[in-house]
A and B are shown apart, each in its own frame.
Chain A
Amino acid sequence: MAQDAAGAVSARLNPDVDSLIRAAQGGDDDAFEQLVRTYDQSVLRLAVNLLRSPEDARDVYQEAFLRVYRNLHGFRFDCSFHTWLYRIVTNVCLDQLRKRRVRKEESFVMDTAEGPLDRIDVFEEEASHANPERCLWNNQIRQRVEQALGGLTPRERMVFELRHYQGLRLRNIGEVLGTTEEAAKNCLFRATQKMRAELGDLL
């Protein structure tokens, strides 16, 4: 869980990142690619887990890093690059979540030759080969959990994602989302309350 938080810290302490940023600001595309490489696995992990769709995650990746490329000259080292980057990434993700709310595409059902299939089932099944424990994961619970997460507002969903799955501290989450640590705390509290209300009988 703390994998990404640790990644963020090591990247922040890495003096190479600063020189990569400066080189990329000077128009060095190879330095920019190195910079992307430093962070893109964790960005992708966030997008995939949040959006439950590799296609949407791919769109988020492209859009977010292009914005980074276009605005990098404006980065002044007055916050950590990780925070600055995640401001962009979370904005792009939130846009996706909001669009999706409008489209009401919460079910993630794919049409396949064997009839409609839940995307999540496919990924769970793929993952279960590697990890037999996952086989115990009950289909019904899984759908209820998905429903409970779907009941959160995009912002609550984002705070929860960053804290629970990506392991960021609430203070950092507040910075990334342009709000206070207190507001992030309230958001996390509301999110857990909603989910516990939704899943009460299963817990």
Chain B
Amino acid sequence: MTCDSVSKLIPLYFYGELPAEEEERVEDHLHECASCARELEKQRSLAVALDGRRMETPPLLAEECRMNLMAAVRAEARRPMESARPQPSSWKLFERAMGGTFAGLGRLRQPLGALALLAVGFLAARVTGITPEARQASPSNPSDRIFATVRSVQPEPSGAVQIAFDETRRRVVSGRMDDENIQRLLLAAAREDNPAVRVESVDVLKSRADSGEVRDALLNAVAHDPNPGVRLKALEGLKPQAEDESVRKTLAHVLLTDDNPAVRMEVVDLLVARPDDSMVGILQNLVQKENNNYVRQKCEKALKDMNASVGTF
């Protein structure tokens, strides 16, 4: 072994990371070569110098960290249980409701997790394309995708194994907008977690805003949906209802609270299309606090058109 090759192996030799044969050859060389032995000495001094800066862990740090961690873990464990995890009975209820041609769907009162998937397929088929009658895909259709969550696995004495799982099957249904059950699905879809599904369903629903239930869903979306795209779509649907007292009330509230200027612009347009005296106060109020120039100018113009003063004095 040459000095050059040995000096490259000294760190590994020092840390005991050489294969036995190589270690032996390095040792043989070190016995004979004073300069390489000095190299090893330097490696040792480096290790001693480095050991001196070893830092102790403050005694109570681990306890403290563990407490913080477990607090965060418990907070995290609580959240998904409340919102994200589907109720185990949802699918059962849904499947029962789906029996026959929507026969039992009237029973659905709550938005169901499983409905999201159904609504996606449904909306992709476009309601406007209307098939003559409501139909449903056969459960045995191989194109159906099954999503399963295994809940428990238990071996049985017989050697068989019992697996309990919840399954979510994607189904595609289509039907006319005047089908009450289709409307119910859409109303549920308007409350789904996926904003794209909400936009699509609100878009379809908006042609039916004359129905009380649909109008309520649109109002709910305008006032509470976190996604501005969904709120704007719902506003479109409320256009024909802009004279309705409860609609105007909600719109006035949205105008003063919505953080999206595009939504506020749209609301001003809707409200001033049929001006009334109650509008004046709201618009004057808005002009005071509005920080978006376009919205403010729109309000000022609307107030002028109504022969009202811009300020409240």
Which positions in A face B, CB cutoff 8 Å? 27, 29, 32-33, 36-37, 40-41, 44-45, 48-49, 52, 54, 57-58, 61-62, 65-66, 69-70, 120, 123-124, 126-127, 134, 137, 141-142, 145-146, 149, 163-165, 169-170, 185, 188-189, 192-193, 195-196, 199, 202-203
- B46–A195 touching, CB < 8 Å: yes
Q: Could you list 11 further interchain pairs (A-B, Cβ under 8 angstroms) beyond the known A142-B53, A169-B17?
A: A44-B65, A48-B55, A57-B57, A58-B65, A124-B53, A134-B52, A149-B50, A185-B17, A188-B11, A199-B49, A202-B49
Whether B73 pairs with A66 at a CB distance below 8 angstroms is yes
Would you call A52 and B55 a contact (CB within 8 A)? yes
14 contacts between A and B (CB under 8 A): A48-B56, A54-B57, A58-B64, A123-B56, A124-B53, A142-B53, A145-B49, A145-B50, A149-B50, A163-B15, A188-B11, A188-B12, A189-B12, A193-B11
Q: How far is the CA of A178 from the CA of B241 in the complex (A)?
A: 62
Interface residues of B in 17-75 (CB under 8 A from A): 17, 42-43, 45-47, 49-50, 52-58, 61-62, 64-66, 68-70, 72-74
Asked if B68 contacts A192 (CB within 8 A), the reply is: no
Q: What separation, in Å, do the CA atoms of A170 and B58 have in the docked complex?
A: 28
Instruction: Identify the closest chain B residue to A37 (Cβ).
Output: B66
A30 to chain B, nearest CB (A): 9
- In B63-111, which residues have CB < 8 Å from any A CB? 64-66, 68-70, 72-74, 76-77
Which residue, A44, A126, A141, has most C-beta atoms of chain B within 10 A? A44
Asked if A66 contacts B72 (CB within 8 A), the reply is yes
Asked if A62 and B53 make an inter-chain contact with CB atoms under 8 angstroms apart, the answer reads no
Across the interface, which residues of B come within 8 angstroms of A195, CB to CB? 46, 50
Q: What's the Cα separation between A62 and B64 when bound, in Å?
A: 11
Question: Given A141-B49, A196-B46: A29 and B70 within 8 A (CB)?
Answer: yes
Q: Is the CB of A36 within 8 A of B53?
A: no
Cα A58 to Cα B213 in complex, Å, equals 53
How far apart are the CA atoms of A61 and B55 in the complex, in Å? 17
Known: A27-B77, A44-B62. A189 touches B52 (CB 8 A): no
Residues of B within 8 A of A149 (CB): 50
The distance in angstroms between the C-alpha atoms of A65 and B69, with both chains bound, is: 7
B57 touches A45 (CB 8 A): yes
Complex contact B53–A146 (CB within 8 A): yes
Q: Would A189 and B69 be within 8 Å (CB), given that A48-B55, A120-B53 are in contact?
A: no
Q: How far is the CB of B26 from chain A (nearest CB, A)?
A: 14
Assess whether B52 is in contact with A185, with CB atoms less than 8 Å apart: no
- Interchain CB contact under 8 A, A127 and B12: no
Q: Are A41 and B57 in contact (CB under 8 A)?
A: yes
Cβ B17 vs Cβ A36 within 8 A: no
A189 → chain B, closest Cβ, in Å?
Answer: 5
Are B66 and A33 in contact, with the CB atoms below 8 A? yes
Contact yes or no, B54 A49, CB < 8 A: yes
Contact, CB under 8 Å: A127 / B58: no
Please report the C-alpha to C-alpha distance between residue A163 and residue B45 in the assembled complex, in whole angstroms: 16
B54 proximity list for chain A (CB < 8 A):
49, 165
Residues of A within 8 A of B49 (CB): 141, 145, 199, 202-203
* A123 CA to B197 CA, complexed, in Å: 57
Question: What B residues does A33 contact at CB under 8 A?
Answer: 66, 70
Contact between chains at A192 and B52 (CB < 8 Å): no
Q: How far is the CA of A57 from the CA of B65 in the complex (A)?
A: 9
* Nearest CB on A from B287, distance (A): 46
Q: Is B289 interfacial (CB-CB < 8 Å)?
A: no
Query: Which residues on B sit within 8 Å (CB–CB) of A146?
Result: 53
Cβ contact within 8 Å between A54 and B61: yes
* Residues in chain B near residue A203, CB distance under 8 A: 42, 45-46, 49
User: Which residue of chain A lies nearest to B70 when distances are taken between CB atoms in the complex?
Assistant: A33
The answer to whether the Cβ of B274 comes within 8 Å of any Cβ in the partner chain is no
Residue among B54, B58, B69 facing the most chain A CB atoms (10 A cut-off): B69
> In the complex, what distance in Å separates the CA atom of A69 from the CA atom of B73?
7
CB distance from A96 to the nearest CB of B (A): 15
Contacts of B8 in A (CB 8 A): 189
Measured in the bound complex, the distance between the Cα atoms of B66 and A203 in whole Å is 41
B43 to A: closest C-beta gap in Å: 7
Would you call A29 and B69 a contact (CB within 8 A)?
no
What residues of chain B lie closer than 8 Å to A127, measured between beta carbons? 56
CB-nearest residue of chain A relative to B12? A185
* Cα–Cα, bound, A137→B56 (Å): 15
Closest A residue to B52 using CB positions = A137
Closest 9 CB pairs of A and B: A192-B11, A61-B65, A203-B45, A203-B42, A137-B52, A48-B57, A49-B55, A65-B69, A170-B17
